[in-house]
Structure 1
């Protein structure tokens, strides 16, 4: 049973009007946002009466689906590039996109002693496989590739990489033992400000391009009150608090 947290009265007051016309919104969500989006969707439903129907995937794959006619109404991407591209393609409401969170990349292992606090394990001879997301489809995969390049260790690890389509698949490779280490999103292994299991190195942000994650209202959601309500809800303190609990940096509103 899911226990819903009560949103502050102010947030409820801002969103009560939409509850009178409750509806459904179809949301394309970057894979790194899976766990926090479950909580946000539940709280959004409680606060507004609307239902968020979530489809998870790599940002690149979700973009391809939108180009193919997938009826998404809101996109929560893992970067700014795709939301900008969606807007240029005429698939989104101009001026609607905004940064809802800044993600953090981590090197993670199920072994409590598998990753040291400085990531020096990457500078030793490879032992086992290193899981990464596809850099052509997933911004977290691109950030992982940039990190390996800037550390000067990509050639050493090149033949040990185990590539998944999304950061969710990279996580599964490590969680199931197919890989010893993996570059994943901090949100996948953090809850309430703590690493839930294993060991992790939070990659310094200067080792890769910023993971500025943007939301954009798609054309299909332009006249859907549930879609605009979700865009508004992402800016409220209850939603921002959930994102912070999963390790995201949240820009000031």
Structure 2
């Protein structure tokens, strides 16, 4: 358990009365957190008067930027392996904390011929009939949700045949945009995005069984040079108000 987590809300209480830094710390957050972390950051500012800036993108790209010296203070990765690698190279303050386990869904826009189902059976049937022209996932070369989507498709024997129709998003948020654009039959995206009202209203989704892919164990860490506001926000991310928001967006929460 990290020192910041052990301090918990005491950090917040000590800092709440302190003047906010002019340069709010930047949090590099995996794009599956788009809606959840925005709510958490707003609640944190309302409760403490302290502000963070959010940068959303793919975990793999953020890891490369951190190695290149990007001035992030917290890294919320969608795959804990990236945190472990950065920690091994001395780029994080400690090994960090597991903050959530993510889930995948298959999602289709309203009016699509694709009918989402847990076993991807309808996707397989449509592919066999030539009915899939565009299907979106995050880029598996650097986005954990794309890596897991590829695993699920491979487990169902669909990966090779789906190649001509694949549309790759730079991250899972962009994959969701592509899947629901109206030019695609659908895609595999993050459950947390599918649950957001502005996304849910545009289509239907079904959870993909966890047995079809490796778990999306999501870990975060303070980066070297993180300041007091970043420490406070990190502690807040592990506190009940933030955990409640994460649960509402479908994340499985680790035991406290």
| Aligned 8 A contact 2:107 2:116 in 1 | no
Deviation at 1:116, TM superposition (A): 3.3
* Aligned partner of 1:137 among 142, 165, 171: 142
Is 1:167 aligned to 2:172, yes or no? yes
| Aligned 8 A contact 1:12 1:47 in 2 | no
| DSSP-derived class of the 1:219 partner | coil
Cα offsets for 1:117-146 (capped at 9, x unmatched): 333222213222110111111000000000
Q: Which residue of 1 aligns with 2:41?
A: 41
Q: Which is worse superposed, 54-63 or 195-204?
A: 195-204
| Aligned 8 A contact 2:11 2:232 in 1 | no
Q: Which residue of 1 aligns with 2:241?
A: 238
Deviation at 1:196, TM superposition (A): 4.2
Cα RMSD, aligned residues only: 1.9
| Aligned 8 A contact 1:125 1:156 in 2 | no
CA distance in 2, matches of 1:88, 1:47: 35
1:52-131 alignment, distance < 5 Å: 52-95=52-95, 97-111=96-110, 114-118=114-118, 119-126=120-127, 127-131=132-136
1:215-226 alignment, distance < 5 Å: 215-221=220-226, 224-226=227-229
| Alignment gaps of 5+ in structure 1 | 1-10
Q: Which residue of 2 aligns with 1:6?
A: none
Q: Which residue of 2 aligns with 1:202?
A: 207
| Aligned 8 A contact 2:104 2:188 in 1 | yes
| Aligned 8 A contact 2:9 2:239 in 1 | no
* Aligned partner of 1:189 among 194, 200, 209: 194
| Alignment gaps of 5+ in structure 2 | 1-7
TM-score (norm 2): 0.88
Please list every run of at least 4 consecutive aligned residues from structure 1 whose deviation after the TM superposition is greater than 3 angstroms: 11-14, 194-197
Q: Which residue of 1 aligns with 2:3?
A: none
Q: How many residues align?
A: 239
